[in-house]
Structure 1
Amino acid sequence: MKTLLSAAAAAVALPAIAYAHFLLEYTTDTMIEKPGDVPVKLIFWHPFENGHVMDLEKPQEFYVIHNGEKTDLLDTLEPIRFTGGENEGAAFKGSVPVKRSGDYVLVTVPQPYYEESEDIYIQQLTKAFLNRNELPTDWMNPVGLATEIIPLNKPTNIIAGSTFTGRVLADGQPVSGAEIEIEYMAAEPDMESSAASAPKVSPMPGGAVVAISDDNGYFSFGVPKAGYWGFAALGSGPATEHEGKELSQDAVIWIRAWDLE
């Protein structure tokens, strides 16, 4: 508890970024009905307020895990330009082969991104989830990243108005006192035009929504609205330096919430 309170106090003392950087692994749907190749777009963006698009280099790794087996998807990636509400930036489109029933865990290990305004590098190790035929196979398992968030609720099937709980790990061990920024995908990418849709809601007046992990690495969040939600554990990874500058190695996860009808 002492560690948690110290981390929380430090987070309050530090100057806050108004809105969060988030690497997206965007698919139109998370529940896949028919077998085939599912289009995906990788975009480094501020989707809550349809803000600045950051140029994304070709990732170090891009793969999918299904039934515990890893399939490399780097060869599916093609460079594109994505247009947000403020600017245009480099992004990628690719595809995920979804055939058999079960979970498909998308994983991206990007190149570190230099954020000039903060004079630091950012590397967001990102996971997103697809499922076919409602069979649970992989969503609850670590994938072995340097840092990652393990979902404790099925990430493709969260009920809006319920809670989501995750656990932050680094080198397989829980991270206490991690600052987790929470992002709603208020604007979504259009798969045909490579441009952003109009935001569905306005961003929070107080800036980024933040949670702090407890002594065992757990955090929970009440999900107020249907749609895509992202969680980024800032600086939770073991790597802290890149090319002589500070590196924030973040764990990112995306979930999908639904309204009861």
Structure 2
Amino acid sequence: MFLHGNLMAAARALLTLPRPSTPGLMLHLPETGDLLTLALGDPLGGGAVLDLATPLEAIHLHAGCRVDLRAALKPGLLHGAGNAARSWQARVDVSCSGLHRFEAVSDVGRDPEGRGYVQHHATSFVLRGSVAAEPETIGSAVEILPDRLAAGFVPGAVFSARLLARGRPVVGTAVHLERMMAEPVGDQVRPIRGHERSLWVIAETDRAGRFRVCLPTSGLWAITATGPFGWSGLRPVRHVTTLWLRFGNPSECLKNESEPVVTAEEFSASLRPLDAAAVAGHLSQRLSSEQRPHERTT
């Protein structure tokens, strides 16, 4: 009872937190998985899109093979909610069964929030076939690594992953999970019917760098966290990573506009008391049903 009360108090406290507004690196793949789009900013959440310089890294990993996609990337303009900026696209092949992993890294640049320098990392997984997969670390400066990926999605299912830096756990770090409200179609960002309202969750990593959350609905989710500071020459650099995952199929994502959204209090009240061994991994969460404001990028 005491533990359950603490979880409810933590969820209420999270209601006072502002939505994180750090622009990230978008790595988008449609349901067909044939067109990779890279962009900087927050175009899928209703925010601005920023110019993205030539990515330092863009790779496709599958069945032990590594394909460098930089030569296939073509520049273009991605038109967001209120502006357009340079993005990059490449045709990719995910027809083979198994787990496909895509990685991209931006150049080091000035942080739009005035925090010095930042480097963005992005990851996406595409699972073809019915066999579940357990991704392995590739030793990136920072990465979010799901414990297990499987076909199908049940609302309320637990999703767990680890935040790693060079393969080592990042402890006590906030992780921001958000269901996207739009997706790029060609060079235009289009709203997703039934997903017009913002829905997001905040978790924290435990001693193993792991976090666990219950995802209340299907859709395209962006999972973002900040790793340890690194260095680029004499400049300290903040490493930010975003994991892009699609849960459920298109028919599950296209719900009507009356789709219910769970509030933090309702979610906390539905949690059952947990045993002591599970406390470190099961995290207080925040879900917001309010329309989010556009972020300022200047």
| Counterpart secondary structure, 2:220 | strand
1:19 to 14, 18, 21: 21
Of 209-218 and 195-204, more deviation after overlay is shown by: 195-204
Per-residue CA shift, 1:23-59, capped at 9, x if unaligned? 22111116x6xxxxx1111122324531111111111
1:230–1:18 distance in 2 versus 1, CA, 3 Å: closer
The amino acid that maps onto 1:258 is G
Q: Which residue of 2 aligns with 1:56?
A: 52
Q: Distance in 2 between matches of 1:119 and 1:87?
A: 24
Which SS does the other structure have where 2:188 is aligned? coil
Q: Which amino acid aligns with 2:127?
A: N
Once the two structures are TM-superposed, the CA of residue 209 in structure 1 deviates from its matched residue by 4.0
Name the CA distance, whole Å, in 2 between partners of 1:244 and 1:84: 35
Q: Which residue is 2:189 aligned to?
A: 196
More helix by share: 2
SS in 2 for 1:221: strand
Distance, in Å, in 1 between the alignment partners of 2:147 and 2:244 is 13
Residue identity opposite 2:38 in structure 1: L
Q: Deviations over 1:46-104 (max 9, x none)?
A: 24531111111111110111112211111110001011112111110112223532111
Structure-2 separation of matches of 1:223 and 1:180: 14
Following superposition of structure 1 onto structure 2, how do residues 61-140 of structure 1 map, counting pairs within 5 Å? 61-136=57-132, 139-140=134-135
Structure 1 residue identity aligned to 2:140: L
Name structure 2 gaps, 5 residues minimum. 1-9, 253-298
Shift of 1:156: 6.1
**Structure 1 position 244, deviation (Å):** 5.5
Question: What amino acid is aligned across from residue 55 of structure 1 in structure 2?
Answer: D
After TM superposition, the score normalised by the length of structure 2 is: 0.70
After TM superposition, give the deviation of residue 108 of structure 1 in Å: 0.5
RMSD: 2.7
CA-CA distance at 1:243 after TM superposition: 6.5
The alignment-based identity, stated in percent, is 25
Distance verdict in 2 for CA 1:99–1:201, change over 3 Å: closer
1:157–1:238 distance in 2 versus 1, CA, 3 Å: farther
Q: Give the structure with higher Rg (CA).
A: 2
For structure 1, the 5+ residue unaligned runs are 1-7, 33-37
Q: Contact 2:203–2:211 (CA<8 Å) still a contact in 1?
A: yes
2:241 is equivalent to residue 248 of structure 1: no
SS, match of residue 75 in structure 1: helix
User: What whole-Å deviation, never above 9, does each CA across 1:221-258 have from its counterpart, x for those lacking one?
Assistant: 22122111111111x1451x447654220232111111
1:220 and 2:216 matched? no
* Aligned residue-pair number: 235
Q: Residues 142 and 241 of structure 2 are in contact (CA less than 8 Å); yes or no, is this contact kept in structure 1? A: yes
Counterpart code for 1:166: A
Contact 1:129 1:156 in 2 (8 A): no
Amino acid at match of 1:223: L
The match for 1:257 is 247
Q: Distance in 2 between matches of 1:80 and 1:179?
A: 33
Q: Is the 8 A contact 1:107 1:128 kept in 2?
A: yes
- Secondary structure of the 1:44 match is strand
Give the letter for the 1:29 counterpart.
E
Offset of residue 145 of structure 1: 1.0
Deviation at 1:136, TM superposition (A): 4.5
